Structure 1
Amino acid sequence: MTSPDDQDPNTDLLAQLQAQASLGAPLSQDDLLAQLNAPPEPDPLENVDYTGDLEADSAAELDALAKGFRERTAREDERFRLATDSEHWFAMCFKTRAAKEAFLRAARLLILGDKYIDGHAAARILDIPMPTDTPPDQNGKE
């Protein structure tokens, strides 16, 4: 029998990726690699200096955990803001489905899908340079 400590550390990430794939989330290879290579959440107890005094050490751990929760909340608030920002997409409309598909085929974009298309993948196909600014990673860093 295996304990939770013996569990593969990628299990949660793989479950998340499977859930996104099952929901039809348009993930590019770059998005998948970024998620797979994302650094783990920082250990809030990593910088606690233990003195051997149980009361002082317990207080230091509680302070570090509270700080960790505040920092995680700030990162999650920013992630939520980015995830729910509706100003990062646009829509195109054609008179018929055939016209839409003809456009996508001619632009060589049909391989990306026919409704929701990764804009960065489309820009690569269309040879359009994109700004290099990226949203912060899960640790809040650029």
Structure 2
Amino acid sequence: MKRKSKFWLLLFISLAFAFLAHFFFLKELTNGRYMVGPNDGLSQMLPFKHFLYQQYTSGQWFYSHDFGLGSGTFAQLAYYFSTNMVFLVTVFFVWLMETLSIIGSPDLLFWAQAGVFVSVFRMTVIVMITTAVFRYFKLGFFPSFAWSRPLC
């Protein structure tokens, strides 16, 4: 029972920390500005995310005629998230929410808004995993959490 309560405590603290670390981006999202970095153009990344989502959900996982005479989705778009495991998991959950009618059909604006929430989830998972690794090294619970925080 004690192990389960520590897991839920770690999940809650990690999620709270991730939200605090992304507070600036969440505030900017409410003002209509989106999470981007230098040289990370919305005009380039969002259409590829949207295109890949359409490819994957229509069953065209490996080959697409949308590349002129046709080509492989993984080969042609490997740089643009096609092999990114976080993006593939995101596609699955977005597809699941769309199938269950929780959300409508995702568009480019959806992918811009989802970026910050995917980042919060990723940071939560990273902090939980690194805390678990430090716990494996026999450190205390709170020192493990404190040392697992990303420095950036």
TM-score, with length taken from structure 2: 0.29
Point out which structure has higher relative CO (alpha carbons under 8 A, 6+ apart).
2
Q: More helix by proportion, 1 or 2?
A: 2
